[in-house]
Amino acid sequence: MSPGSDNFAWLKVWIRNTESENPAFRNLFLVNYDGGLITSSVSLGWNDRPASTPAVNSKTAYSFDNAEKAEFIDRNLTESIRLYSEALAFSSFPQERALILSRIGRCYFKLGEYRKAIYQYRKILDIENETMKIGNVPATVIALSQIADCYKALCSDKEQYETMLELYQQLLDNPWNLAGGDYLYYLKSVSEKIHNSGNTLRIADSAERNIGHLLIKEEKLFQKIRFIEIIDRVILPEMISELRKGSSSELRSHNISREVNDSIFQLSYFKLPATFQQSQLLALGYQFEKEYILSDLFPGVLASVEFGKDILVGILNQNDSVLYIQDEHQLPEYLVTTGFSQQFTGWKVALFDPDVKSIEQLTGKEKQLYMILFIGIILVMLIGIILMIRAVIHESEISRMKSEFVSNVSHELKTPLALIRMFGETLDSGIVNEEKDKQKFYSIIRKESERLTHLINNVLDFSRMDAGVKEYNFQEADLVEVVRGSLEAYKFQISDNGFQIEIELPDEPLILKIDKDSISQVLLNLLNNAVKYSDEEKHILVKVQKDSTSASISIADRGVGIPKDELKKIFDKFYRVSTARTKETRGSGLGLTLAKHIVEAHGGTIEVESEVGKGSIFTVRIPLPGI
Ligand code: ADP
């Protein structure tokens, strides 16, 4: 039998069991629709449905009423005991019997017959019914406190003390609703009496130990009472309004954190599903048992997760002090932290490096590497873009030059052909009688056909060269002789154009392994250019020289010259300097390309020095044999 027994005792048992099965939670509590609270031991404002009062037997009721009259109006206590006893004889309901027995006990007490009173009260304790109450107070509590009073009146201190101890134990074991203050009144007065009489009475060792045990229990109970009061005072109003809002189906946990008496009070709760709500239960609340979570739960969970050797996991509080760390390392600095999303407000998960390196140190090398890679990729991309742009420009330049070449060459072919045809026809018609005129026409036809041959040779040679099939016939020959021969062949044309030619040749022959025809083609191209690109100053100097390593032929003119930045390009295929002079001069842009190719095939070089408006010097150098 227990004094706090009530209709929701099973809920207390359920909470108690749940708490012991789930050590990560503590202070579980239930909230009902009226805002009533219940924990594993105490409850507050929980509307306890009164135990169904039995239909009182009419004889019992009659005797009970008369007994009360005799007790209070007639003040005939003996008569009232008789009538109460009569009522008791007719009653068979425990609750009713407990009430009647307590009345009989009271009458004996008033009569000063304390032993008899004790006897009656003890009968109440013998009835085994958990929900039994007299008024709002459990019948056991009434009976035990009355027995204690009787012993007090009998001056049996020991018995009185023992009874109070039993009552104290019952009160601690079975607290009932805190509302109304009955429970706290009984608990506090009994606890006080025990302390007072404990000091004056010499009690046995075992009893002393028992008291110590009960005091711990009382302290725990008061903690729970304080907890439930905080919820009732601080948290419940907000919680109830929140709970009434949300949909009943969602099982979402809510977290509340409040500052109460200078410390943070945290709890979580969730709304119970509709099935519970039918039995007036609205929500289940709880607190986390942080000690257990830190010492048992986290180590267990973290042990089952593979993090690798290079990282340790820890838990920090809001001030960044370490609450828990894997392997119990002592580490000053964490690498990164992040808060828990919902639960454990104020706690953070932190990652540590076992070698106490900072995140900068750990990532420094990788950062550098990625930076270099990144810059490298950007550079490669830039180079690629530049090369592509250059290639595009080059290609468009080549195609422009090609089309220019085609138009130049066709012009070059057409002009001499037209001249040859015109003068040929004129001669053929016989209208030219004068020998002098005839000679002039023959000379034009010869010159133009030479030019044509020269052009066609250049184009054919170039196409062989471009295709890589140009062949050379290297033979030992006298370079001086080759130059002299070429000049001889071209001399007429030079002087014909009004040029003055100066030739400086060595007296001794210069024997080299050369392709004679190709070398004279180079010379003709250079002489031809000197003629083409000269204005008023019609002077050409041809010089053949020899030094220790090479033989050189230089052809200097006093013509238009070439701008500095064009000097390198003039040897490129189809390239023609874009000056007014070049435009009015016929050409294919192949002469120098061919000359360079031929000279290089001889292992030599071709160089140019030039000044705009002053003239140009082209120097061909061919290495001497054995060098
Ligand atoms: P082209 O058929 O146009 O003469 P070349 O390859 O022989 O082709 O010469 C390329 C360009 O170099 C010419 O278009 C001309 O602008 C320039 N050049 C060559 N030789 C001379 C020179 N002696 N004086 C001035 N410019 C020259």
Q: How confident is the model at residue 358 (pLDDT cuts 50, 70, 90)?
A: confident
Q: 614 C-alpha to center of ligand 1: Å?
A: 15
pLDDT at 467: 85
pLDDT above 70 (res 250): no
**CA atoms within 13 A of residue 177's CA, in its CB half-sphere:** 18
Tell me, using a 6 A CB cutoff, whether residue 592 lines ligand 1.
yes
**Ligand 1 centroid distance, CA of 443 (Å):** 25
Instruction: Delineate the domains of the chain, giving CATH numbers in brackets.
Output: 8-47+231-287 (3.30.450), 58-227 (1.25.40.10), 291-362 (no CATH), 472-623 (3.30.565.10)
Report the run of H or E that residue 19 belongs to, with start and end.
helix 9-21
Q: Strand pairing partners for 325?
A: 314
Higher per-residue confidence, 474 vs 397: 474
> Which residue among 523, 529, 557 has the greatest number of ligand 1 atoms within 8 angstroms of its CB, and so is best to mutate?
529
Mutate to test the pocket of ligand 1, among 454, 537, 592, 611 (most ligand atoms within 8 A of CB): 592
Choose which residue among 533, 578, 593 to substitute to test ligand 1 binding: the one with the highest number of ligand atoms within 8 A of its C-beta: 533
pLDDT digits (tens, 9 = 90+) for 364-402: 888 899 999 999 999 999 999 999 999 999 999 888 878
The dihedral formed by the CA atoms of 183, 184, 185 and 190, expressed in degrees to the nearest 10: 90
Mean per-residue pLDDT, 494-516: 91
Considering only CA atoms, which of 386, 316, 317, 301 is closest in space to residue 351?
Answer: 316
Tracing tokens 């195609």 back to the chain, one arrives at 399
Range from 228-242, 320-334, 497-511 carrying the lowest mean pLDDT: 320-334
CB-ligand 1 contact for 616 (6 Å cutoff): yes
Q: What is the number of H-type helices and E-type strands within the chain? A: 19, 19
* Band (573; pLDDT cuts 50, 70, 90): confident
User: For ligand 1, is residue 194 a contact (CB within 6 Å)?
Assistant: no
Average pLDDT over residues 291-301: 84
pLDDT greater than 50 at residue 128:
yes
| Binding site membership of 530 for ligand 1 (Cβ less than 6 Å) | yes
Ligand 1 atom with the shortest distance to the CA of 593: 6
Pocket lining: 4 vs ligand 1, CB cutoff 6 Å: no
- Rounded-to-integer distance, Cα 39 and Cα 536, Å: 121
Between the CA of 292 and the centroid of ligand 1 the distance, in Å, is 96
Least confident of 205-219, 231-245, 386-400, 438-452: 205-219
* Ligand 1 in reach of 522 Cβ (< 6 A): no
Q: Which ranges constitute the DSSP H helices of 174-297?
A: 182-200, 205-230, 236-245, 274-278, 290-292
Q: Give me 173's structure tokens.
A: 């074991």
Token readout for 109 is 């007490």
| 525 CA: nearest ligand 1 atom | 7
pLDDT band for 53, please (50, 70, 90 cuts). low
Out of 37-51, 214-228, 372-386, least confident range? 37-51
Residue 50 has pLDDT above 70, yes or no: no
Decide whether any atom of ligand 1 lies within 6 Å of the 570 Cβ. Answer: yes
Cα torsion at 171, 177, 178, 181 (round to 10°)?
-80
Q: Find the helix packing angle between 139-153 and 94-111, rounded to 10°.
A: 20
Residue 137 has pLDDT above 90, yes or no: no
Strand partners, 322: 316
Please check the confidence at residue 102 and state whether its pLDDT lies above 90: yes
Question: In angstroms, what is the span from residue 417 Cα to ligand 1's centroid?
Answer: 23
Strands 336-339 and 500-504 come out as unpaired
DSSP-assigned states of every residue in 24-44: TEEEEEEEETTS-EE-SS-EE
Helix (H, G, I), strand (E, B) or coil at 514: strand
Q: Of 137, 194, 129, nearest to 168 (Cα)? A: 194
The pTM score is 0.52
In this predicted model, what pLDDT tens digit does every residue of 437-466 receive, in sequence order?
A: 999 899 889 888 988 888 888 888 888 888
Residue 412 has pLDDT above 80, yes or no: no
**What element of type H or E holds 480?**
helix 479-496
Residue 30 pairs with which residues in a beta bridge? 38, 284
Q: Whose CA is nearest to atom 13 of ligand 1?
A: 576
- Classified as helix, coil or strand, 575 is coil
Over 50: is that where the pLDDT of 3 sits?
no
8 A C-beta contact, residue 475 and residue 516 = yes
* Number of CB atoms found within 10 A of residue 316's CB: 19
